[in-house]
Amino acid sequence: MATFPLKIMTPDGVAFDGEVVSLSCRTINGQIQLLAKHIDLCTALGMGEARIKLEDGTTRRAACMGGMLSVLKGECHLLATTFEWADAIDAERAARSKARAEEILAQKNLDKRDLELAEARLKRALVRSSVVARKDI
Amino acid sequence: MAGSMKEIKLRIRSVESTMQITKAMELVASSKLRRAKERVEGSRPYFETLYQTLYDIVSTDSAFDSPYLEKRESKCRLYIVIAGDRGLAGGYNSNILKAVEADAAGSDYCVLPIGKKAVEFFERRKANVLTTAFAEAGDLSVSDCFEISRLVCQKFLAGEIDEIRLGFTQFVSMLTQTATVLPVLPFDAAPPAPGHERESLMLYEPDSKSVFEAIIPEYLAGVVYGALCESVASEQGARRMAMDAATKNAGEIIDHLNLYYNRARQAAITQEITEIVAGANAES
């Protein structure tokens, strides 16, 4: 299978740097998948699961939230705000965070900002736990 | 004479204990510096690519306009100033605060100080402080930077702020740190020269404007976080240098005092001998 170089960077450092067969992730426009020889592309990332397929057929999954995806001259850069490999996610913390967010959302008189914050937290927690839950597939 | 010997002894002891403290602070700063340096190096590729991409979008594609690009008459300028939480770091805090003040001189500005020293400084100046929620530069995380970015972008879009500049200390090397004031928004990139506009072959999903506007808050948060990493590393670097100099100075003072102490001791002995000899002479 044809491969292409992929570099995944976060503010905390480089999370991945190497050749991959495919990359699939969630953008602001929906799920997309990139293969080798893709046209130059630039888009912003949404919140969701990212999946990369390595040359030997193994698939690695991660929770990927916010940032930017670009392909330039065949090289792919994924700049994510948060990028956590499935095996590095703290499932308990995600569950706790989800519970707390739900608790906040259950209150009636929230101002707009608190609502937004709680919603964002719930979304992050849901993405994380969904990535963890599908580990065994 | 015996009195002055005791005094010198006491001074030596006090300088020694000061030296111990500066030595310990130096060690702490260098171990923190190592960690901070790794963080700076880890974060750099992310921001460089982010900046480069935004720059590419703007410089190849002039067909869209965004409120983030529009240069407005600068009525209210916001300075995001990153300084340290503690003193004893040589010129680190005063350099950055002075640089910002010089840059802001004569214009109407407000500040978002990060770090206790910056907060104190601008409160004393009675400057228009946006928020003091981020007073602790030491434990600011990525998500705090996103919070700052969200707040600032909102104000920028609402027209309360016309320009954003970031004051931080660039970590050039272990020995050199430079205070820098960097314009952040509106995003400044050379638009393609008229007549030389070229059609970008880049595919933007869904379109360049949406991508640009989705990325700008990320970019701002990224720049703030990057600047924070640089500043924290610079602070440790500056402190290490200052404490190193202090330790050396203390060593010098101790050497001097030891010299005086020995002189005083010798003088005391000589005097005793003279007294004994004089006494013996008188008896015989």
Interface test with A, best of B201, B205, B209, B230 (most A CBs within 10 A): B205
Domain with CATH 3.40.1380.10 in chain B: 33-240
Q: Is the pLDDT of residue B243 over 70?
A: yes
Mean pLDDT of B228-253: 89
Q: Is the pLDDT of residue B13 over 90?
A: yes
Do A28 and A77 have their domain in common?
yes
Do A16 and A65 have their domain in common?
yes
Do A122 and A64 have their domain in common?
no
CB contact under 8 A, B211 and A42: yes
Q: Is A48 on the interface with B (CB under 8 A)?
A: no
Q: Is B45 on the interface with A (CB under 8 A)?
A: yes
Q: Quick one: CATH architecture of B2-21+243-283?
A: Orthogonal Bundle (1.10)
CB contact under 8 A, B43 and A11: yes
Which tokens belong to B14? 């006090």
Residue B272 banded pLDDT, cuts 50, 70, 90? very high
pLDDT at site B254: 93
Do A97 and A120 have their domain in common?
yes
- Each residue's pLDDT tens digit, B175-233: 888 888 888 777 776 665 555 555 566 777 777 777 777 788 888 888 888 888 888 88
pLDDT at site A56: 85
Do A108 and A62 have their domain in common?
no
**How many alpha carbons lie under 13 Å from residue B243 in its C-beta half-sphere?**
22
Q: What share of chain B in percent tops pLDDT 90? A: 18
Q: How many CB pairs under 8 A join A and B?
A: 75
Number of domains in chain A: 2
Distance CA B59, CA B191 (A): 5
The winner for highest mean pLDDT among B50-59, B116-125, B254-263 is B254-263
pLDDT at site B42: 81
CATH number at residue A31: 2.60.15.10
CB contact under 8 A, A12 and B201: no
Q: What is the DSSP string of B16-80?
A: HHHHHHHHHHHHHHHHHHHHHHHHHHHHHHHHHHHHHHHHHHHHH--S---TTTPPPP-SSEEEE
**Residue predicted with more confidence, B207 or B19:** B19
pLDDT at site B19: 92
Do A76 and A103 have their domain in common?
no
Q: Among candidates B273, B271, B148, B161, which has minimal Cα distance to B217?
A: B148
Q: What one-letter code names the amino acid at B132?
A: T
Assign domain B33-240 to a CATH class: alpha beta
pLDDT at site B61: 64
A49 close to A131: Cβ distance less than 8 angstroms: yes
CB contact under 8 A, A39 and B203: yes
Q: What share of residues in chain A are helix, strand, coil (percent, to 5)?
A: 30, 45, 25
Q: Which domain holds residue A10?
A: 4-87
Contacts of A41 in chain B (CB under 8 A): 202-205
Do A74 and A109 have their domain in common?
no
**Residue predicted with more confidence, B33 or A88:** B33
Question: At which of A65, A87, A109 does a domain end?
Answer: A87
pTM, rounded to two decimals = 0.79
Per-residue pLDDT of chain A (137 residues; tens, 9 = 90+): 788 888 888 888 788 888 888 888 888 888 888 888 888 888 888 888 888 888 888 888 888 888 888 888 888 888 888 888 877 777 778 778 878 877 777 777 777 777 777 777 788 888 887 777 775 55
CB contact under 8 A, A41 and B222: no
**Residue predicted with more confidence, B247 or B171:** B247
Contacts of B47 in chain A (CB under 8 A): 11
Contacts of B214 in chain A (CB under 8 A): 28, 44
pLDDT at site B2: 59
Nearest CA in chain A to B222: A11
Distance CA A64, CA A69 (A): 11
Interface test with B, best of A43, A93, A115 (most B CBs within 10 A): A43
Q: Is B133 on the interface with A (CB under 8 A)?
A: no
- Each residue's pLDDT tens digit, B108-158: 788 888 888 888 888 887 777 777 777 777 777 777 787 788 888 887 877
Q: Report CA-CA distances (Å) from B175 to B41, B43, B244.
A: 16, 20, 12
CB contact under 8 A, B57 and A42: yes
Q: Is A121 on the interface with B (CB under 8 A)?
A: no
Question: At which of A56, A71, A87 does a domain end?
Answer: A87
CATH number at residue A122: 1.20.5
Q: Report CA-CA distances (Å) from B193 to A45, B61, B133, B278.
A: 31, 11, 43, 100
* End-to-end CA, chain A: 23
Do A72 and A21 have their domain in common?
yes
Q: Among candidates B114, B66, B147, which has minimal Cα distance to B231?
A: B114
